[in-house]
A and B are shown apart, each in its own frame.
Chain A
Amino acid sequence: MKKTINIPIGSQHIALLEPVRFKFECENEKIVGVDSDVGFVHRGIEKACTTKFKYDAIGYVVARVCGLCAITHSMTYTASIEKLIGGEITQKAKYLRILLLELDRIHSHMLCLSHTCENAGFEAMFMRIMGDREDIMEIQELITGNRVQFDYISIGGVNRDIDAALAKKILSKLELVRQKVLGYMDEFTNNWSLSLKFKGVGILTLDDAYRFNAIGPLARASGVQADVRNEIDYLPYNEIGFKMQKHTEGDINARNLIRLNELLNSIEMCNNILEGLPEGEIFTKLRGKPNGESVVRFEAPRGELMYYVKANGSAMLERVRIKTPTFSSIPAFSHIFTGANYADAPAILASFDPCLSCTAK
């Protein structure tokens, strides 16, 4: 007699924002095997980058890989092209780029936290965080003119400047958000019913995190010192007060705390940038065509993002390889699911903060 039951989730499900299909093999309450299908949103952007678009337009195309970390995609691509052309951009443009990258990280982490709460059954917290997230979306709209796909970074600098009045407005809004994040901190650490859902659930040990090459908040919650912001020198992250967050428990609670601490750190970095923004131009025209090959990495909200670009001196590139954070975490995800309770599966899934349109490109 067969002892296991197969339970599918997806591809369309109320707990999922995106189409992904999981097939859980369950023995009573325990998950003993998991099979995933991630290819529902495959569009073929890598091929279009080498056949349809010229190199100066691709920065806006790769932003459409993912709406949540769009700015990191265009940043990474732009950085690799600037490396191949060999130009230098102004200090002010670099700071403005970091400002937008960190604002994007704040709103993405808030979305993830609210989604984790919703999947754990805490609807009120979901609404509260989603409501507060609108402040960040407003700031983004004020700076760039759009809420989600803001095409802010172009090769050679950024597209819009900010003035003193706007900076003051943003600072006051960020202070409001910081107070609210401190409130969540209290809720996430002291709420009894949340701790039942989060503490000791979905554990990834340090050794497994190294073995499965976990990245981003998933790895840092297990104690791996893996933050790409610490491993690049393209943007001046060490000048504006970047601190790496680390926890050792490796459960859902640790991931939430990592995200909350990163929120506070990002807000602090944004404050530092806005208070000490240097004078200067925001755009320098770079001459020449890209030639050669380069690998550039950046820290997206979900982990490490890598672009490999190969160019031959003409306007069309030869190869663009996009390695996205969720894509390389899938082996770690499957490992965590094995042995967990089936009832915890939605909460564990939300704590990974998966982004399937990144994964399938």
Chain B
Amino acid sequence: MMKKIETSIDTLKKDIKEFYDYKKWHFLTLNGVALEDDMLEIQWIFSEYEVKNKIVVYYAHIKYDELIPSIVEIIPSAIISQREIVDMFGVEVEGSQKGLYLDEDSQQKPLSGCSI
């Protein structure tokens, strides 16, 4: 079943470091959901190896101009999802630049719900 745990961008690195055991948990992806009032929900989704239907989601509500911390030093494979979030929502993630799908100088923010 899906279990949602709230965190914030200040405590995120600490939370994930305590939680993540690389032989037990499988990091699925980083996900963004545009909310109302120019807010954005960022989700870090994990699943457990060899256990049926166990999914854990860490989520944080942020504004579009906030810097999202990178978890690459804990989970190296998160780098590609972070680059996608940067492209799709026009947010800033520590150490990730634009240009995975869109052009580097592109002004598009396809999935962003931000009004400005």
- Determine direct contact between A and B, CB below 8 Å: yes
Is the Cβ of A319 less than 8 Å from the Cβ of B22? no
Residues of chain B lying within 8 A (CB to CB) of residue A212: 76-77
In chain A, residues 288-325, which have Cβ atoms closer than 8 Å to a Cβ of chain B?
293-295, 297, 304, 306, 308, 310, 318-319, 321, 323
Q: Is A276 an interface residue (CB 8 A)?
A: no
State how many residues of chain B have any CB contact under 8 Å with chain A.
35
CB A79 to nearest CB in B, in angstroms, measures 12
Q: How far is the CA of A211 from the CA of B53 in the complex (A)?
A: 22
CA distance A212 to B55 in the complex (A): 19
B101 at the binding interface (Cβ < 8 Å): yes
Known: A213-B75, A321-B29. A330 touches B47 (CB 8 A): no
Number of interface residues of A (CB under 8 A): 36
B55 touches A47 (CB 8 A): no
Interface of A is mostly: mixed
Q: Which residues of A contact B110 (CB under 8 A)?
A: 44, 46-47
A318 to B33, Cβ gap below 8 A? Answer: yes
8 Å CB interface, B53-67 against A: 53-55, 57
CA distance A226 to B80 in the complex (A): 20
* Chain B neighbourhood of A328, CB < 8 A: 28-29, 77, 80-81
| A210 CA / B77 CA spacing, docked (Å) | 10
| B34 within 8 A of partner (CB) | yes
Q: What's the nearest-Cβ distance from chain A to residue B38, in Å?
A: 16
A46 to B34, CA, bound (A): 13
Of the listed stretches A62-70, A170-178, A230-238, A260-268, name the one at the interface; the rest are far from the partner chain.
A230-238
- Give the interface of B toward A (CB within 8 A): 2, 22-23, 26-29, 31, 33-34, 43, 45, 47, 49-55, 57, 75-77, 79-81, 84, 88, 99-102, 110-111
CB-defined contacts of B81 to chain A, threshold 8 Å: 328
- Shortest beta-carbon contacts, A-B, top 4: A42-B101, A39-B101, A331-B77, A213-B77
**Across the two chains, which residue of chain A brings its CB closest to B103?**
A39
Whether A360 sits at the interface, judged by CB under 8 Å, is yes
Kindly state the separation between the CA atoms of A310 and B35 in the bound complex, as whole angstroms.
11
Contact A321 B31 (CB under 8 A): yes
**Given the interface contacts A225-B49, A231-B51, A308-B45, does A330 sit within 8 Å of B29 by beta carbon?**
no
Contacts of A61 in B (CB 8 A): none
> With a CB–CB cut-off of 8 A, which chain A residues contact B55?
295, 297
A32 at the interface (CB under 8 A from B): no
* Given A295-B2, A323-B28: A211 touches B76 (CB 8 Å cut-off): yes
- Give Cα A300–Cα B28 distance, bound, in whole angstroms: 15
**Shortest beta-carbon distance, B116 to chain A, in Å?**
19
Q: How long is the Cα–Cα vector from A66 to B69 in the complex, in angstroms?
A: 32
Q: A226, B76: Cβ atoms under 8 Å?
A: no
B26 cross-chain contacts in A, Cβ below 8 A: 213, 215, 226
Report if A125 contacts B (CB, 8 A). no
From A44, A46, A210, A295, name the one whose CB has the most chain B CB atoms within 10 angstroms: A295
Between B27, B47, B102, the greatest number of chain A beta carbons within 10 A of the residue's beta carbon is seen for: B47
What is the CB-to-nearest-CB distance from A290 to chain B, in angstroms, rounded to a whole number? 15
Instruction: Scan residues 103-119 of chain A and give those whose CB is less than 8 A from a CB of chain B.
Output: none
